[in-house]
Structure 1
Amino acid sequence: MKHISSVQNALIKQVLLLKDKSRERKKSGVFIIEGLREIELAVKGKYTIETIFYYADIFPKEQLEKSDLKASQYIEISKDVYQKIAYRETTEGIIAIAKGKENTIDKLIFNNKNPLILVAEAPEKPGNIGAILRTADAANADAVIIANPKTDVYNPNIIRSSVGCVFTNQIATGTTSEIIAFLKSENIAIYAAILQDAVAYHTQNFTTPTAIVVGTEATGLSEAWRVASKQNIIIPMQGEIDSMNVSVAAGILIFEAKRQRDFK
């Protein structure tokens, strides 16, 4: 196994770029994963692990050898290097470089003939995206589609906040018009969380092929979704405000669909 002790090493400099720059992740086609559980979920999600870095004082070589992790190369790194490239305050001593996937609409495959899909338009905060992915995983949704994404799905904040669910969900990105066209071509009914012309969400039937669409708290969904929607839906609110966190709203709506499907 190789050993790197200098933070000036070319490969370590690339890791830093991958951590901080979406452009670098897109250009190179690779990204970084920190943490054993996250790396294991990436392997489960059939991601290719190219390189594993480990700091032996936290993650001993013997532990690595006993694990099922497979990579093209394994590199032991010094404390200085690890502290430089580690992203999280609570660390596990292991970081990987993995090859990204083409998360385009045409790559989606539905093994379920009655898919349940969660769509989020232009979510800005990686923490919200991560929470949406965790919710979709918990509900066993067939896919998460992000319309007009503001960041790539391999942003370290998304990986961290999703607790690795970014690797176990089927994910696609595209423009709003591309996604609407795809959903219509697959005969998937669109239910958009929009105030205009809306009815209470629990009055609708989500037991057929369904896409539930949510937007940001600040701007909501674009007009295209209102026009394309089979029915606009709202979560009745009884307090002083008329909106809630997008990941919370997504959770309420997707689990109503699950409730209906489980007890129909």
Structure 2
Amino acid sequence: MFKQISSPQNPAIKRLLQLQEKSRNRKKEGLFIVEGIREIQLALKGDFQISELFFCDELHPAEQISGLLKIGNKPEITEISSDIYNKLAYRGSTEGLIAVFKTKEPNLENLQLNKNDNLLILVAEAPEKPGNIGALLRTSDAAKADAVLIANPKTDLYNPNIIRSSVGGVFTNKIAMASTTEIIAYLKDLDVAIYAAALQASKNYVEVDFTGSSAIVVGTEATGLSEEWRRNSTQNIIIPMQGEIDSMNVSVAAGILIFEAKRQRGF
């Protein structure tokens, strides 16, 4: 028999809301929230440790719980009412499951990339919008890039909006967050060529050879990349645009560039 919670005022529910809404609570407790069957399964497959699972029996019957948890450790399981689930759920149509996972430190040291491999890395400097970060992670997953590096991050990786917009890409990619200076030094140590998407002294991206170990670096739509990236790039690259609007969504630009690299590598 599972523990049951029916009151939204229960301290456990208030704690879940705090984990959802406040980055400092996630950092302090080392925990974050994952909603939905697909995302929970991807987190488990990605070796994230689940500590608690909350389910709404009307949406996800109790007898289906054991099948979900075939991999990973056994969490504390609690049944919640539909009112509580609707209060907690970010998405309108989900499967009645909310889990609490332990965070992993997204450090460069934890990536364990091999210098001898022909690496393809996506770097984003100071992305602010969770939706853009999520889209970048989806792009990286689709291209099967070796890692995603976020320079000078403006939000924590376990923001629920990032998890939702990445459709679980937070769990399928190797990800690290660090300063621009640290990431540049890391890439140089791995002998990875740096291709910075910038207007200054740039070359058309289709004229660049991405077949060796490469890092494709994109900045924000508003300010682009910092001078530090432009100074340290192997080659600045540009996507020629023919319309009147001189900016492109960062995740779209990243997709164009990273799939050109994949095309050159024969996928």
TM-score of the superposition, structure 2-length normalised?
Answer: 0.96
Q: Deviations over 1:116-145 (max 9, x none)?
A: 000000111111110100000000000000
CA distance in 2, matches of 1:114, 1:66: 38
User: Which deviates further from its counterpart, 87-96 or 38-47?
Assistant: 87-96
Q: Which amino acid aligns with 1:35?
A: G
1:61 aligned residue? 62
1:93 aligned residue? 96
Q: Is 1:81 equivalent to 2:99 in the alignment? A: no
Q: Which amino acid aligns with 1:101?
A: K
Select the residue among 162, 176, 181 that pairs with 1:172.
176
2:134 aligned residue? 130
Q: Is 1:246 equivalent to 2:254 in the alignment? A: no
Q: CA deviation at 1:65?
A: 2.4
Q: Which amino acid aligns with 1:190?
A: I
CA distance in 2, matches of 1:260, 1:45: 29
Kept in 2: contact 1:52–1:71 (CA 8 A): no
Q: CA deviation at 1:79?
A: 1.6
Q: Which amino acid aligns with 2:227?
A: E
CA distance in 2, matches of 1:68, 1:87: 22
1:36 aligned residue? 37
Q: CA deviation at 1:72?
A: 2.2
Q: Which amino acid aligns with 1:105?
A: L
Q: CA deviation at 1:104?
A: 0.8
Residues 224-243 of structure 1 aligned to structure 2 (within 5 Å): 224-243=228-247
What do you get for the CA RMSD once the two structures are aligned?
1.1
1:11 aligned residue? 12
Q: Which amino acid aligns with 2:105?
A: E
Select the residue among 178, 183, 189 that pairs with 1:185.
189
Q: Deviations over 1:174-233 (max 9, x none)?
A: 011110111111111100000000010111111111100000010000000000000000
CA distance in 2, matches of 1:172, 1:66: 31
Q: Deviations over 1:136-177 (max 9, x none)?
A: 000000000001111111111111111001101000000111
Provide structure 2 residue ranges, at least 5 long, that are not aligned to the other structure. none
Q: Is 1:148 equivalent to 2:149 in the alignment? A: no
Q: Which amino acid aligns with 1:79?
A: S
User: Which deviates further from its counterpart, 237-246 or 212-221?
Assistant: 237-246
2:264 aligned residue? 260
Q: Is 1:222 equivalent to 2:223 in the alignment? A: no
How many residue pairs get aligned? The number is 263
TM-score of the superposition, structure 1-length normalised?
Answer: 0.97
Q: CA deviation at 1:8?
A: 1.4
User: Which deviates further from its counterpart, 101-110 or 38-47?
Assistant: 101-110
Q: CA deviation at 1:262?
A: 1.2
SS in structure 1 opposite 2:265?
helix
Q: CA deviation at 1:5?
A: 1.1
1:45 aligned residue? 46
SS in structure 2 opposite 1:138?
helix
CA distance in 2, matches of 1:66, 1:208: 43
Q: Is 1:114 equivalent to 2:118 in the alignment? A: yes
Q: CA deviation at 1:53?
A: 0.2
CA distance in 1, matches of 2:68, 2:252: 36
CA distance in 1, matches of 2:57, 2:66: 12
Provide structure 1 residue ranges, at least 5 long, that are not aligned to the other structure. none
